[in-house]
Chains A and B, each alone.
Chain A
């Protein structure tokens, strides 16, 4: 197993894509730390990891709080060692037409989806640089490339993380660290369950594969980028969207 005993940190691992990524990396032998915003969520992640027979646990993290990031890193490093795989997955939506968007909707999404990636990536880089091997994988979105009405805030952050990844990839490549973005299309998770049926039906007509994606199909691509097999891919955005958007 290619990630044997490597410490992998996955934010937002309670459900959906994050949970699938945590499971996939665990299967590949990694020690997985999955984060949740509540104690209860963290405990549930611990249970899931244990039940699957993987190494690691759930921990509480508020990605918008620099102190929370620091204390998480300290706890992970003490218990398991410095993370060498970081999956920036935690994300939220607060959709609204721009004309009606509130400052809160704008800044909450920027803070959770974008600024958190700055905080976490910066926090793990020291360990990765010393290790001369590291993987930072951001979960972006097809919406960052194609746009979507009602999601100017979300789309802005998802386009931004891809640019962030390209810049950071250029900065730290010489230390054996790759930085990439996986951009899912419409995946069957709680985030897309809220879409009206009508919108979903219309959506399917635009997806050549004619179905929503499964969280495991995103996790597999993240797993590839984390593995040695994906070692020469850096600064890239991989679209995983059933052919809905091809660039």
Chain B
């Protein structure tokens, strides 16, 4: 089983159509990885499916970088 960090990065790369090595922890989805607002909604949907959880809208809005996504999953699932 890969680590949470690896799984999050893989999903971000797939969803946003970027290479996995571009998905650095500090990368912002919108500013660094070229996501639009709908992409970020879809990204959260994909994270919810991968980790079999529901991320409330008010939390989802705060997940703006790769690290914040990893932190959220770690805090709520690990």
Which A residues contact B (CB, under 8 angstroms)? 126, 129-130, 171-172, 174-175
| Interface size of B as a range | under 10
A175–B42 alpha-carbon span in the complex (Å): 10
Is the beta-carbon distance between B45 and A172 smaller than 8 angstroms? no
Which B residues contact A (CB, under 8 angstroms)? 38, 42, 45
Is the beta-carbon distance between A175 and B45 smaller than 8 angstroms? no
Is the beta-carbon distance between A130 and B45 smaller than 8 angstroms? yes
Question: How many CB-defined contacts (below 8 Å) exist between A and B?
Answer: 8
A174–B45 alpha-carbon span in the complex (Å): 17
- Would you give the shortest CB distance from A130 to chain B, in whole angstroms? 7
A110–B45 alpha-carbon span in the complex (Å): 30
Q: Give 8 A-B contacts (CB < 8 Å), ordered by A residue.
A: A126-B45, A129-B42, A129-B45, A130-B45, A171-B38, A172-B38, A174-B38, A175-B38
Closest to A172 in B: B38
A126–B57 alpha-carbon span in the complex (Å): 14
A238–B45 alpha-carbon span in the complex (Å): 33
- Would you give the shortest CB distance from A56 to chain B, in whole angstroms? 26
